Amino acid sequence: MFGKNVKHQDLANEVNAELNVKGRSLLRDARDRFVRNKAAMASLFIMIFIALFTIVGPYFAVWSNEEIDWNRMGDIARQGVPNLENGHFFGLDELGRDMYARVIQATTISLLVGLIGAFMALVVGTLYGTISGFVGGRVDSIMMRIVDILMAIPGTLVIILLLVVAGRSFVMLFIALGAVSWLTMARIVRGQTLALKNREFIEAARAAGVSETVIMFRHILPNLMGVVIVYASLLVPDMILAESFISFLGLGISEPYTSLGRLIAEGAGTMAYGTLWQLAFPLTFYVAIIISMFFIGDGLRDALDPKDR
C-alpha cells in the first residue's frame, strides 16, 4: 500500500512538472534560452557597460571635448600620451583636445545613429512589407517592384548624394541611413506576412467578421515581432558601420561633433607620428559595439526561433 502511494505521488509530481513546463509563457521561455547563451549574455553586459560609460563618463571628465590643452600642443607624441595625473585618461588628439571626452561623445553619437537609424528602418520596412504582403495582388507586385528598383541602386551612393545635396546634419544623416536600410526589412516582413495571412487563426478572425485592418494590426503584426526584433538588433551594427564609412570619407558627423568612425579616421591618419592611442581607444569601443550587437542579435534569433521550443 505504501509503495502504491509513493508511485501515485511520483506520477503526480511528473504530471505537475509537465504542466508547469507547458504553462510557461513564450516570453519567459525565450528569456531563459537567451540567458543560457553565454556569448549573448556577455555581449549584453558589454553593451550595458558602454551605455553606462556614455552616461556616467562625462562626470569624470576633467576636460571638455572642445577644450585644447595649449601646454602640451608642442609635442603631442610625447606630451599627449594617456595620463591620469593631468586628466587626459585617453591622451590627446592631434589638435590637443582630450580624447576621453571625445570618445564619450563619439560613442554616444554612434549609438544614437545605430538605434535611431534601425528604428526608422524598422517602422518603415515593417509597415511597408506588411501592407504589401497582406493586400497582395497587383498592389503587392507594384510595391515590390519599387523595392527591387531601389535595391538596385548602391545604398552608399544614395547616402552620399543625400548628404551632399541636402547638407550634413544629424537629421539628414538619420534620414539618409533610414532611406536605404528599410528595403531588406520590407522584403523579410512581406515574406512572413504571406506565410501568416492564410493561417487558421486569420481565417477564423475573418469568419468572425473582424475587419482586414484590425486583422493586419492585431493579428499579423504581433506575430511578426520576433523576426522584426531579431533583424532590428542586427541592423544596429549595420547602421554604425555605414555611418563610420561615411565619416571615414569625411561626409558624416561634422565638427564640433564627432563619431567613432571619424575618430578612427583621424587616428589612422596620425599613426605615422607614434600616437597609437588616438586610434586604439575609439577602435576598441567600435569593435566592442559591433561584435556585441551581432552576438546579441544571434542570441535573440536562437531564443525566438519557434523550432527550438
At 23, the amino acid letter reads: G
Q: Which residues contact 62 (CB under 8 A, 6 or more apart)?
A: 86, 87, 88, 98
Q: Give the Cβ contact number of residue 214 at 10 Å.
A: 11
Q: Which domains, from first to last, does the chain contain?
A: 39-72+100-308 (1.10.3720.10)
Contact 126, 189 (CB under 8 A): yes
What's the confidence (pLDDT) of residue 11? 46
Which of 60, 173, 71 lies closest to 120 in space, CA to CA?
A: 173
Residue ranges, the chain, pLDDT below 50? 1-8, 11-12, 14-23
DSSP SS3 for 92: strand
What's the confidence (pLDDT) of residue 25? 61
What's the confidence (pLDDT) of residue 299? 83
H or E stretch including 184? helix 170-196
Buried b (16+ CB within 10 A) or exposed e, 229-266: bbbbbbbbbbbbebbbbbbbeebbbbeebbbbbbbbbb
**Cα(23)–Cα(137) distance, integer angstroms:** 40
Task: For Cα atoms 293, 297, 301, give the angle at the middle one, nearest 5 degrees.
Answer: 170
**Cα(272)–Cα(283) distance, integer angstroms:** 17
The cell 503587392 sits on which residue?
140
**Cα(282)–Cα(233) distance, integer angstroms:** 22
Q: pLDDT for 52-77, tens place per residue?
A: 999 998 888 888 878 777 776 665 65
At 259, list the grid cell. 563619431
pTM over 0.95: no
Contact 239, 113 (CB under 8 A): yes
